[in-house]
Amino acid sequence: MPFPKAERRHSALKLKSVSLPYLVWMIIFIIVPTALVVIFAFTDKNGNFTLQNIQAVGQYSNVFLRSIWLGAIATIICLLLGYPLAYIISKTNVRRQSVLIMLVMLPMWMNFLLRTYAWMTLLEDSGIINRVLNFFGLPSIHMINTRGAVVLGMVYNYIPYMILPLYSVLTKIDKRVIEAAQDLGANRRKVFLRVTLPLSMPGVISGVTMVFVPAVSTFIISKMLGGGSNLLIGDLIDMQFLGSAYNPNLGSAISLVLMVLILICMGIMNQFDENGATEGGVLV
């Protein structure tokens, strides 16, 4: 069809311009705010250039380390708990699969503040878990306001983000590949280690990033379950903007460092994902 070419180009041009409002939006509400964070991070109260804020972030290296440490532990626990479940679900029949996945997602539709609040009721010294323990003649355990409680809160809130990408990758694995491995004499353990696990790596990677990023930057879970003594990066940022230690310049510097840190982590994770199978694979 030679003739409609010019016309087509014309309509293509028109179509491109329908995204113009979005492009403007993108510049105003994504690029400019990010630039503002950078500008605030490198200026003082009077707007003069300074490196003091960035240097001041160094004082909080223990908070950064704690956040990364707790976030990493939570991510590993999510992976260890979530992988078997995703695997089990992917092996059941299709009808049951959709019910089970629904059940995994259902808690996510309930506000996470409410769910985390409920954990306070469970974990308190006079809370439900301790009451049950006492009922059976066991001693109480102090759980609330500990690091363990913060990690528990993270695992609880973010484990669906681990299960869902793992499940979607595991169901997409071609059954014939597994059958081929079995035909070639691999036992179940070998099939899993040499075939299923490597093929599910894109799911592992997107799961890990989807849990790690919110876990490191959370500021509510630590406040509610950590009792304020286990300050995390999120709490630190909150304090600089809306809290007692009002200093948006320092807050921006901390945000900038957090942002760069996470972008580096994502970059490293993407390196492991050789074939880029996760590209555009958004799962919510």
Which residues ranging from 151 to 180 are in contact with other proteins (CB under 8 A)? 156, 159-160, 168
Contact between 263 and other proteins per CB under 8 A: yes
Query: CB atoms < 10 A from the CB of 15, how many?
Result: 9
Restricted to residues 91-110, the positions that interact with other proteins (CB under 8 A) are 91-92, 100, 102-104, 106-107, 109-110
Q: Which two tokens stand for residue 205?
A: 């990677």
Restricted to residues 109-148, the positions that interact with other proteins (CB under 8 A) are 109-119, 121-122, 124, 126-128, 131
How far is C-alpha 15 from the geometric centre of its chain's CA atoms? Answer: 35
Smallest gap from residue 41 Cβ to other proteins (A): 11
Query: CB atoms < 10 A from the CB of 61, how many?
Result: 10
Residue 31 carries which side chain, given as an amino acid letter?
Answer: I
Please, which residue, 195 or 217, has the CB nearer to other proteins? 217
Residue of the chain from 32, 51, 197, 245 that contacts other proteins (CB under 8 A) = 32
Q: How does 240-272 read in b/e, with b if 16+ C-beta sit within 10 Å?
A: beeeeeebbbbbbbbbbbbeebeeebeeebeee
Q: How many helices (H) and strands (E) does the chain have?
A: 16, 0
Please, which residue, 184 or 284, has the CB nearer to other proteins? 284
Count of residues engaged in binding other proteins, rule: CB under 8 A: 86
Binding mask 45-64 for other proteins (x = CB under 8 A): --------------------
DSSP state of 43: B
Contact between 228 and other proteins per CB under 8 A: no
